């Protein structure tokens, strides 16, 4: 596309692309935008160096004129988008890229690979946060996804309301709080469970979390309190019938005087099992596979579509697909969220009009201006802003949005 457009000049036409999803996963009532800060950091590094150019040249992938153009590639356009942490619905234009066709079209895979994964994780994580009903959650899924996806997942889950991650790189780069617990291998290393517990407590103090289901849970709980005393911070259960086990462990801890010792559970949790444990005396959750795979929906079905461009005379032309079940609405969009008494009622996507009514909240913010990234949205500071905004945005949703039962998007999207 780039080579052909550069040859005849159309690649230099000013163009507008949008990122949006046509549908939410079955049963989901809303999605959560995540990945904005990651995308902006990657955009700043998106270059074609000599090794890449030489590979293109050696393989005759594109002609020499295109390679020369790529050698100087720097995105110089404008990008607007929903704030990271914002909720989205079908056809919400969460990212609007305006530049030449040549500059913008190269960003399709970069944008979609980031927003599809991060938003899928954040959307699933937000449901788990709602199901936990105020109890803290830790992201522990690094061993269930790719090594860099694990870092992205930890970041997205934190934005969605998780309290910590076991991924130290997410803590180092993005400022996500980190935590961890001992694995079964640590207990199995010692001649007895008591020796393992004593070693851990000696290293980390009695406030640590002891894993109690390597052998016999009741015996392990007794040993844990014996070793750490009633000041034992927490015990972790990673297997079995969690509702009955948690109740039994809580009763045992209380009988041993460890009334302040908390119980954390892991063991392949998702939003449904977390909700099922609401009545159990669980204090916190550790979630792995389900959160890093979007709880069965590892991509958010985002697409990157051209919606407008200038013609040969410099006039703006709205364009859209008419393909069956994949039709798109042309024209530059300006979305707002209509609210009634502070509760979200409708997503209105205005085509060509920037009007904002008194009960409406505009949704697009500037992310990149003339190629310069707004650094408010990047780094650890951007993560905290996204987390704060997610809480505010979800707080606007009707109560039915948090049902785990099947249903449509909680508010409709209307073009105007």
How high is the pLDDT of residue 406?
84
Q: Residue 315 — very low, low, confident or very high, per pLDDT cuts 50/70/90?
A: very high
Q: Do 169 and 151 contact (CB within 8 A), yes or no? A: yes
pLDDT higher than threshold 90 for residue 169: yes
Domain boundaries, the chain: 2-121+301-397, 127-296
How high is the pLDDT of residue 131?
97
pLDDT higher than threshold 90 for residue 102: yes
For range 60-78, the mean pLDDT = 97
Dihedrals phi, psi of 334, to nearest 5 degrees: -135, 95
Q: What percentage of the chain carries pLDDT values higher than 90? A: 97
pLDDT higher than threshold 90 for residue 237: yes
If you search the block for the tokens 């870092």, which residue do you land on? Answer: 151
Considering the segment(s) 2-121+301-397 as one domain, its CATH architecture is Alpha-Beta Barrel (3.20)
Q: Do 21 and 112 contact (CB within 8 A), yes or no? A: no
Q: H helices then E strands: how many in the chain?
A: 15, 19
For range 75-95, the mean pLDDT = 98
Nearest of 265, 259, 195 to residue 229 by alpha carbon: 259
Considering the segment(s) 127-296 as one domain, its CATH architecture is Alpha-Beta Barrel (3.20)
How high is the pLDDT of residue 405?
87
pLDDT higher than threshold 90 for residue 116: yes
Chain segment 369-391, per-residue pLDDT in tens: 999 999 999 999 999 999 999 99
How high is the pLDDT of residue 101?
98
pLDDT higher than threshold 90 for residue 197: yes
How high is the pLDDT of residue 328?
92
How high is the pLDDT of residue 181?
87
Chain segment 131-155, per-residue pLDDT in tens: 999 999 999 999 999 999 999 999 9
For range 334-346, the mean pLDDT = 96
pLDDT higher than threshold 90 for residue 325: no
How high is the pLDDT of residue 329?
94
97-100: long-range contacts at Cβ-Cβ below 8 A with a sequence spacing of 24 or more? 97/16, 97/17, 97/18, 97/19, 98/14, 98/15, 98/16, 98/17, 98/332, 99/14, 99/15, 99/75, 100/11, 100/12, 100/13, 100/14, 100/15
Cα 292–Cα 295–Cα 299 angle in degrees, nearest 5: 70
Nearest of 351, 301, 287, 343 to residue 125 by alpha carbon: 287
pTM of the model: 0.96
């Amino acid at each position: 596309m780039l080579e052909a457009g550069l040859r005849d000049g159309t690649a230099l036409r000013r163009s507008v692309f949008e990122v949006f999803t046509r549908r939410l996963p079955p049963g989901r009532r809303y999605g959560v935008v995540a990945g904005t800060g990651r995308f902006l950091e990657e955009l700043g590094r998106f270059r074609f160096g000599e090794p890449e150019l030489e590979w293109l040249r050696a393989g005759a992938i594109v002609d020499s004129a295109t390679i020369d153009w790529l050698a100087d590639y720097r995105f110089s356009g404008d990008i607007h988008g929903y704030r990271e942490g914002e909720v989205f619905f079908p056809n919400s234009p969460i990212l609007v890229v305006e530049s030449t066709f040549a500059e913008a079209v190269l960003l399709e895979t970069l944008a979609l690979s980031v927003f599809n994964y991060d938003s899928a994780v954040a959307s699933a994580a937000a449901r788990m946060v709602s199901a936990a009903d105020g109890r803290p959650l830790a992201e522990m899924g690094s061993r269930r996804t790719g090594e860099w996806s694990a870092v992205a997942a930890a970041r997205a889950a934190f934005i969605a309301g998780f309290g910590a991650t076991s991924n130290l790189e997410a803590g180092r780069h993005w400022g996500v709080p980190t935590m961890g617990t001992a694995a079964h291998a640590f207990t199995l290393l010692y001649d007895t469970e008591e020796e393992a517990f004593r070693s851990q407590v000696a290293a980390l103090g009695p406030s640590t979390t002891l894993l109690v289901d390597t052998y016999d849970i009741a015996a392990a709980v007794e040993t844990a309190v014996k070793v750490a005393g009633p000041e034992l911070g927490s015990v972790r259960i990673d297997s079995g019938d969690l509702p009955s086990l948690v109740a039994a462990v809580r009763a045992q801890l209380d009988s041993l005087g460890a009334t302040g010792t908390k119980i954390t559970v892991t063991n392949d949790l998702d939003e449904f099992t977390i909700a099922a444990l609401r009545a159990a005396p669980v204090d916190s959750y550790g979630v792995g596979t389900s959160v890093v795979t979007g709880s069965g929906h590892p991509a958010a079905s985002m697409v990157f579509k051209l919606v407008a461009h200038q013609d040969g005379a410099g006039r703006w032309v709205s364009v859209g697909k008419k393909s069956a079940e994949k039709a798109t609405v042309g024209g530059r969009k300006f979305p707002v969220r209509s609210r009634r008494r502070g509760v979200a009622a409708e997503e209105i996507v205005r085509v060509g009009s920037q009007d904002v009514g008194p009960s409406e909240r505009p949704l697009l913010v500037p992310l990149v201006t003339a190629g310069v990234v707004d650094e408010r949205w990047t780094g650890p500071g951007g993560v905290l802003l996204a987390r704060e905004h997610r809480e505010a945005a979800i707080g606007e949703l009707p109560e039915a949005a948090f049902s785990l039962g099947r249903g449509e998007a909680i508010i409709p999207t209307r073009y105007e």
